[in-house]
Amino acid sequence: MSSPSKILRKVRLASFLERLIQERQVFAPVREGEVILIREIESPSQVVLEYPNAKESPKSVLFPQRETLFWYRAEKGKAEVDIPRDKEQGRVLFGIRPCDARGLLLLDKVFGGDCRDPYYVGKRANTVVVSLGCDDPNPSCFCLSMGGGPCSKEGSDLFLLDVGDRYVAEGVNEKSAALLADETFEKLDEETAALAEKVKRASGASMHPVVLKEKLVEQLERLFNDPVWKDLTESCLGCGICTYLCPTCHCFDLCDEAAGTTGERIRVWDSCQFPLFTQQASGFNPRPTVKERFRQRIMHKFSYLPETQTMPGCVGCGRCVTECPVNLDIREVVTSLSKGNAR
């Protein structure tokens, strides 16, 4: 059930956030040096809402780069395990972009499902996602090509749209109700509603689909053994920045950090772009070069995930496009492959 839309005046934003911070952990875009990052905030004055997108995706709020799964104590002949308890305090992920909110849908599918990941699912259930529509997308953005859009509400609980001196706030589901109940929110008038529609139309029109993908799955299957992958990855360094920044990439490693007889089992991000990811103890590696690892990334995102999770592992945020040190552009790769361009 969606709540009716309301108005949040920009002049009242600080007081609203102030109250939120009293009750919950609030994560929002802040400026750190030259870049915008999603961080837990202590004061509304830290929040920057006029920004193209954060340098890193917000996935770390729900899926931290390093997370303790349990602590252990192991001595001769005995061992015990202690699991961290969830924080009772609720969280708000405030002001993230619609592509990143959609990215959470994929993480929900991966970490939810038949065998639920209690660490992710616990935090997710406790988090209200407030996304902010894009009125000025980056040149590297291609959300429309991936089934989203600059004003997509998928993955958010409360959707904000900047219409000048105010935001229009649309409740997407019941998780937004507690926030919308705050005194800051005013009734939506017709004039503002019309303005919001205009902004939405304009932002959609400012983007064009750039990635052809009609026959992508078919072509990927056909091209699996084609030498084209070698050509595509000639310049790839295998640095993994694409997977690090990606809002949907979720591969991880489990390892122990020991200090004497005690220690912890931790989960850390990992990447299919690294050679050790699949290297076996025998020395055998099914993906020995950059070519196979890059192919795995593309196949996983555009063939396997659409089949198993009904959505691609890409929301078109464009981070991998802007941050790749050798300008490997996933849009060009996918376009070329979907046209069936073999070597």
Partner 1 sequence: MENPYVPFLMRIEEIIVETEDENIKTFELSFVGKADEERFVYTPGQFAEISVFGKGEAPFGMASTPTRPGRLAFSVSKIGVVTGELHRMEKGDVVGVRGPLGNGYPLESFKTKSLVLVGGGFGFSTLRSLTNFILHDSSRKDYGHLTVIYGARRPGLLLYKRDLEHWRERADLQLHLTVDKGENGWQGHVGFVPDVTRAVAPNPRNAYAVVCGPPAMIHFTLPVLKELGFGDENIFLSLEMRMKCGIGKCGRCNVGSKYICRDGPVFSQQELSRLTTEAHMQEGCTGHGARCTEKHR
Interface contacts to partner 1, rule CB under 8 A? 69-70, 72, 74, 76-81, 83, 110-111, 115-119, 121-122, 221, 224-225, 250-256, 258, 263, 265, 267, 270, 272, 276-284, 286, 292, 296, 299-300, 303-304, 307-308
Using the minimum distance from each CB to partner 1, give the nearer residue, 218 or 256: 256
Using the minimum distance from each CB to partner 1, give the nearer residue, 19 or 265: 265
Least distance from partner 1 to the Cβ atom of residue 134, Å:
29
Using the minimum distance from each CB to partner 1, give the nearer residue, 4 or 118: 118
Residue 296: other Cβ atoms inside 10 A? 17
Q: How far apart are CA 338 and CA 211, in angstroms?
A: 9
Burial of 75 (0-12, 13-18, 19+ CB in 10 A): exposed
Least distance from partner 1 to the Cβ atom of residue 186, Å:
40
Instruction: Provide the H-helix boundaries in the chain.
Output: 13-23, 98-111, 118-125, 177-180, 190-205, 216-222, 228-232, 241-245, 290-299, 305-309, 319-323, 330-338
Strand partners, 79: 74
Q: How far apart are CA 98 and CA 120, in angstroms?
A: 20
- The angle subtended at Cα 171 by Cα 165 and Cα 174, nearest 5°, is 150
Q: How far apart are CA 248 and CA 105, in angstroms?
A: 9
Least distance from partner 1 to the Cβ atom of residue 304, Å:
5
Using the minimum distance from each CB to partner 1, give the nearer residue, 76 or 208: 76
Least distance from partner 1 to the Cβ atom of residue 261, Å:
8
Least distance from partner 1 to the Cβ atom of residue 278, Å:
5
SS3 content of the chain, % helix, strand, coil (to 5): 35, 20, 40
Least distance from partner 1 to the Cβ atom of residue 203, Å:
33
Least distance from partner 1 to the Cβ atom of residue 241, Å:
17
* Pairing of β 166-171 and β 158-162: antiparallel
Burial of 225 (0-12, 13-18, 19+ CB in 10 A): exposed
Closest residue by Cα to residue 289 from 232, 211, 338, 212: 232
Using the minimum distance from each CB to partner 1, give the nearer residue, 35 or 81: 81
Using the minimum distance from each CB to partner 1, give the nearer residue, 35 or 254: 254
